Amino acid sequence: MGEQSWTDHPRLRSWLQRQESSFPTWTATHPGNWDFTPASLDALESAVRADFADWDAAWAARDATSLTVPAWYLGEVCVRAGAVWKVNPAADTDPDGPAVAIPDDPAESDSDRYEDEDYRPAVLPVAELRDLFLKPPDWRLHQVPAAFTEWYRAHS
What is the value of pTM for the model shown?
A: 0.90
In a domain, 3, yes or no: no
- Amino acid 2: pLDDT: 44
Please name the residue ranges forming H helices in the chain. 10-29, 41-51, 55-60, 65-79, 125-130, 144-154
Please indicate, yes or no, if residue 87 is contained in any of the structural domains: yes
Does the residue 39 lie in any domain? Answer: yes
Instruction: Tell me if 118 is assigned to some domain.
Output: yes
pLDDT per residue as tens, the chain (156 positions)? 444 689 999 999 999 999 999 999 999 999 999 999 999 999 999 999 999 999 999 999 999 999 999 999 999 999 999 999 999 888 888 888 999 999 875 555 554 444 555 678 899 999 999 999 999 999 999 999 999 999 999 988
Domain count, the chain: 1
5 within domain boundaries:
no
% helix, strand, coil for the chain, step of 5 = 55, 5, 40
Helix (H, G, I), strand (E, B) or coil at 42: helix
Predicted pLDDT of residue 38: 97
User: What's the confidence (pLDDT) of residue 120?
Assistant: 82
CB 100 within 8 Å of CB 84: yes
Task: Please report the pLDDT score of residue 110 as a whole number.
Answer: 52
What is the separation of C-alpha 81 from the centre of its chain, rounded to a whole number of angstroms?
12
* Enclosing domain of residue 28: 10-154
pLDDT of residue 4: 60
The pLDDT, as a whole number, for residue 78 is 97
